[in-house]
Structure 1
Amino acid sequence: MMNRRHLLKNAALFSGALLLDKFSPAFAFNKSAYKIGACDWSLGKSSNLSAFDVAKQIRLQGVQVNMGSLGDNMRLRDKNLQQQYLQKSKETGVSIAGLALAELNNIPYKSDARTDEWVADSIDVAANIGAKVILLAFFYANDLRNDDKGKKAVIEKLKKVMPKAEKQNIILGIESYMTAEEHIDIIEKVGSDNLKVYYDFRNAADAGNDIYKEIKLLGSKYICECHCKENGYLLGKGDLDFRKIRTTLDEIGFSGWLQIEGAVPKDVSVVDAYVQNLAFMKSVFG
């Protein structure tokens, strides 16, 4: 039987080991700083309350909600609907993990005056539903690559709206095919800490960018949230190295929401695909 001196010695050694582990890379890797959600449009429920029921079935932590479209007059601006979203989130236990303005892909922020009101109003919507980040989509008609005129117009628009975002402590995140350097240039010209990059690993890789170099260049200073997807494949079945992505994100001290987008193979149901996608994400980021 151990005497009291041996017990105290062993306790001290155990405490010291825990302290060392706390600051070791292995401990940092295992201690998750990430939350895993999904885009409502990828769940087949764009701008639809039932996205939360699907997310609950899959056991996702949150849903990134689309604010609406031109056709429904950006439906989430309706305060009654905002209350329904809050209630649905409470009922299901699934968080409202962010807001998105996907319609900017079709009605471009860079050139259509109607979008000025949408972006400004989205800040109020985000504040009302408890979302901290708004995704601003810059693809298709809103693509800024090789468009200096478009970039200049977006910079001037953002300069006008960012004080409102700052006042309400809301982050606007630019998602695009642009390089990390182009994103940083726009953010610095706008001059607001509340403007960041919504980083999509698949989009960046498809654009020919070195995602690991870009993650380090952008750092946690510029990246607000991330999309995780593989076009036509389950996560982990495409060519993105998510374990290397995890290590790189850990290196820059990033924490926050990772939203699964797409990643539904042909002839696989959304729920079945997302159960598998979530299991993979937990194995890497859990």
Structure 2
Amino acid sequence: MKDKRILVDLNNSRRDFIRNSAVLLAGMAFTRKAGHWDTGFSKSEMKVSRYRIGVADLMIYKRQKIGAFELTKRIGAEGVEVDMGGLGDRPTFNSKLADPAVCKAFLDEAEKYGLEICSVAMTGFYAQSFAERPTWQRMIGDCLDTAKRLKVKTTFLPLGITCDLRKYPKLRPAIVTRLKVAGQMAVATGTVIGIETSLDAAGERRLLEEIGSPGIKSYFNFANPVDHQLDICNELKILGKDNICQIHGTNSDGVHLSQDPEVNMPKIKQTLDQMGWSGWLVLQRSRDQKDPKNVLYNFGANSKYMESIFK
């Protein structure tokens, strides 16, 4: 992927203006401290919204790059999903984040821009087989260790093209066995592994029941039900709030979310409200097919639209 043209600067976004104005009107005294504005309140004292909007560093062409935080701030989102790096034929991820010093630098940069690291993603498994790789436990362990260093409670594990349970149902026993162990590993570290599968909601719920671990939940992706001509809201209801740890809140590339007839975002928000779900919605795609590499244009527009719906 290439990190090239950026045409739109959303630094002075409407959201930032409103937030800053509200803070001033409330009488909060800001002081310059450690390179960022300090409200005088700790994070635990600040009110956290029920819904948070994040972006995937991989998809803004900043995979494991510290510049993801500055760019995310310009986009207008609140958090970053940090990727573990590529796999290829390696025994584990090609990750800079195995170094605690690098993790600390990421945390410091997130704090500098008033952002959070919302999750750690193992997107290498989109192309690699979780069911067949011999060193899978090391890979999971490395991800969970990274999540701990980054103070993150959610990780993302896609069962990608080589583990598509619709096409390769014979892999199900191996996947279930491995996810049972992975779930135990996650529980031991106070972490949840969110899986993405090609199954419909009923099938994914049965899979979660078969795994039977509180450490394994669904990382829901709006694009999956759309790809299979299923209703997103019905699928969310079938899965249930307790089975969904996080959401990739975009569709396949083509048009922005605000122009996508297949994603009725107000209805989705109403459904999530009724379910009582709360958490992070992470932007992956829904890029304008006419200009897909323009990061600020695409992610800025989608972040602004999600903000208008969920805030």
Letter in 2 for 1:36: I
Q: Distance in 2 between matches of 1:40 and 1:193?
A: 27
Other-structure match for 2:287: 264
Other-structure match for 2:35: none
- Determine if contact 1:36/1:257 at 8 Å carries over to the other structure: yes
The answer to whether the aligner puts 1:104 opposite 2:104 as a matched pair is no
Other-structure match for 1:245: 268
1:77 Cα deviation from its structure 2 partner:
2.4
State TM-score, norm by structure 1: 0.84
Letter in 2 for 1:65: V
Other-structure match for 2:249: 228
From 71, 74, 85, the equivalent of 1:68 is 85
Q: Which moved more, 1:249-258 or 1:38-47?
A: 38-47
From 142, 157, 167, the equivalent of 1:121 is 142
Question: SS where residue 108 of structure 1 aligns?
Answer: coil
Other-structure match for 2:23: none
Describe how 1:194-205 pairs up with structure 2 within 5 A.
Answer: 194-205=215-226
Q: Distance in 2 between matches of 1:148 and 1:75?
A: 35
Other-structure match for 1:140: 161
Q: Distance in 1 between matches of 2:240 and 2:49?
A: 18
Q: Deviations over 1:51-105 (max 9, x none)?
A: 1110011221000011111266233223222222112212222110111000011
The answer to whether the aligner puts 1:59 opposite 2:84 as a matched pair is no
Against the structure 1 CA distance between its residues 55 and 159, is the aligned structure 2 distance closer, same or farther, given a 3 Å change threshold?
Answer: same
1:201 Cα deviation from its structure 2 partner:
1.0
Q: Deviations over 1:187-241 (max 9, x none)?
A: 1122112211000112221123232211111111101111111322111111210
Other-structure match for 1:39: 56
- Determine if contact 1:138/1:176 at 8 Å carries over to the other structure: yes
1:47 Cα deviation from its structure 2 partner:
2.1
- Determine if contact 2:57/2:68 at 8 Å carries over to the other structure: yes
Q: Distance in 2 between matches of 1:285 and 1:273?
A: 18
Other-structure match for 1:22: none
Letter in 1 for 2:297: D
Question: SS where residue 128 of structure 2 aligns?
Answer: coil
Sequence identity percentage: 30
1:32 Cα deviation from its structure 2 partner:
5.2
Q: Distance in 2 between matches of 1:77 and 1:141?
A: 26
**Structure with max Cα Rg:** 1
- Determine if contact 1:212/1:248 at 8 Å carries over to the other structure: yes
State TM-score, norm by structure 2: 0.78
Other-structure match for 1:152: 173
Letter in 2 for 1:238: D
Gaps of at least 5 residues in structure 1 are: 1-30
1:160 Cα deviation from its structure 2 partner:
1.6
1:243 Cα deviation from its structure 2 partner:
0.7
The answer to whether the aligner puts 1:130 opposite 2:155 as a matched pair is no
Letter in 2 for 1:279: K
- Determine if contact 1:145/1:178 at 8 Å carries over to the other structure: yes
Question: SS where residue 147 of structure 2 aligns?
Answer: helix
Gaps of at least 5 residues in structure 2 are: 1-47
- Determine if contact 2:255/2:286 at 8 Å carries over to the other structure: yes
Other-structure match for 2:10: none
The answer to whether the aligner puts 1:277 opposite 2:288 as a matched pair is no
Q: Which runs of 4+ in 1 moved over 4 A?
A: none
Q: Which has the higher helix share?
A: 1
How much is the aligned-residue C-alpha RMSD, in angstroms?
1.7
- Determine if contact 1:64/1:97 at 8 Å carries over to the other structure: yes
Count of aligned positions: 256
- Determine if contact 1:52/1:88 at 8 Å carries over to the other structure: yes
